Amino acid sequence: MKIQIQNVSEVKNSSSTRTLAHETRKKIVKIVSILSAVAVIAIIAGVLTGCQKEQENEPLDEAILNSSEMEDYVIAGADFHQSLAIFEKKLNEIDFSTLKVTYNAEGKKVIHLPDAFVRSIKIEEKVQTFNEKKEALQKKFPQFSFLKEDMRGKYFQQCANSSVNVCGKFLELGINTSRPKLKNGSPEGTLTNYSGGEDIAYMFYLLSNWASNPNYVEVYIIAYADGNYAIWVDVRNTSLSSHITVFGDGNGNWQYDGRDVSYISHTHGAGSNGPCASTTDKTSYASTPGLDRKIYYQGGFYDYDYCD
C-alpha cells in the first residue's frame, strides 16, 4: 500500500487559503448586514418623513375643529391668558403698605387684596375653568394630544378665525388676532414683565402646550424685593405640586431671574385645602430655607403655616 505524504508547506498553504476564504465570507456577510441595516434605516426614515409630511398636509378633523370642547378650551385659554396679564398688571399698581392685614389665633398673617380688584379678576376661577376645559378636550379627543405642536396650532388658529363663539369672546377680551406680537424671551413660560398688550403668539403657545400636557395648570406669584410682582406658569406643575426655579446664596437670600425675591406664592382654588398648604407644598417649602412662601386664596395671601 502506497502512502502519499503531503508537503508541510502545501498543508499550510491550503489551511491559509481556507482561513482567507472564511474571513472573506465573514467580511462579505458583515458588509451585506450593514448594507441591509442601512437600507432598513433609510426605509424607516422615509416612512417617518412621509408620515410627518402627511400629517402636515392632512386636512383638519372637522369633528375636533367644530366641537364644543375645542371652542370651550380656546375660550377658556384666552380668558386665562388675558386674566394673567391683567392680574400681574394690577398687582404692580397696588400699594401693599395700605392693605388690610389680619391674623388668626396663632398669629399667622393674611394680606387682603381690595375687594373690587379680587372681584374683577377671580384668577383662581380662571385657573380651575381652564383645567376643566383642557381635561374635557383631552378626554373627548385623546388623539389630539399626540399631534405635532404645529398641527395643534393650526386647529386653534382655524377655530379662532371661524368660530362665531370664539371670535365674540376674543372681541370681548380685547384680543385682536390680526395684530400678533412676539412671545417674550423669558424662560420656562413665565409672563414676567408682561407688556400689557395682547401677546397673541404667547397665547397660542399656551393653548398648544397645555393641550398635550396632562399636568394641572397652576399659577405662581413672585414678589420681588423691589416691590414688583410677576406671574409664573410652569409645565411641570401637577394638582399636587408646583415648581419654580429660584436660586439661593446659602444665607436665606433667594433670587429669580437675577432679581432678589421677597416671597413667592401659588394659587389654591376652592376645595379641601383652601388656604392651607398641602404636604407636598410643605416639602417644597423645606427645600428653600429662608424664602417666605404664601398661598393665594380668594383674594388673600396666606402664610404657609396659616392652618398649622
At 139, is the pLDDT very low, low, confident or very high (cuts 50, 70, 90)? very high
Express each pLDDT in 218-266 by its tens digit: 888 999 999 999 888 877 766 666 667 788 898 889 998 889 999 999 8
Residue 56 has pLDDT above 60, yes or no: no
Q: What is the CA radius of gyration of the chain?
A: 31
Neighbours of 31 (CB within 10 A): 10
- State residue 36's pLDDT score: 59
Percent of the chain with pLDDT over 90: 37
- State residue 189's pLDDT score: 44
pTM of the model: 0.72
- State residue 73's pLDDT score: 96
Nearest one of 223, 57, 58, 212 to 146, comparing CA atoms: 212
Nearest one of 124, 99, 125, 101 to 114, comparing CA atoms: 99
Q: What distance in Å separates the CA atoms of residue 209 and residue 235, rounded to the nearest whole number?
A: 8
Q: What distance in Å separates the CA atoms of residue 234 and residue 263, rounded to the nearest whole number?
A: 17
Residue 112 has pLDDT above 70, yes or no: yes
At 33, is the pLDDT very low, low, confident or very high (cuts 50, 70, 90)? low
Express each pLDDT in 182-193 by its tens digit: 444 444 444 444
Mean pLDDT, rounded, for 74-89 = 90
Mean pLDDT, rounded, for 102-119 = 93
Express each pLDDT in 275-300 by its tens digit: 998 888 888 888 889 999 999 998 99
The full DSSP string for the chain is -PPP---HHHHHHHHHHHHHHHHHHHHHHHHHHHHHHHHHHHHHHHHHHHHHHHHHHSPP-HHHHT-HHHHHHHHHHHHHHHHHHHHHHHHTT--GGGSEEEE-TT--EEEEPPHHHHHHH-HHHHHHHHHHHHHHHHHH-GGGGGS-HHHHHHHHHHHHHH-HHHHHHHHHHT--TTS--PPP--GGG--TT--SS--HHHHHHHHHHHHT--SPP--EEEEETTS-EEEE--TT--SS------EE-SSS-EEETTEEEEEEEEE--SSSSTTSPPHHHHHHHHTSTT-EEEEEETTEEEETTTT-
- State residue 238's pLDDT score: 66
- State residue 224's pLDDT score: 94
Three cell numbers at 109? 398673617
At 179, is the pLDDT very low, low, confident or very high (cuts 50, 70, 90)? low
Label the pairing between strands 292-297 and 259-267.
parallel
CA angle (163, 168, 171) in 5-degree steps:
125
Mean pLDDT, rounded, for 116-132 = 90
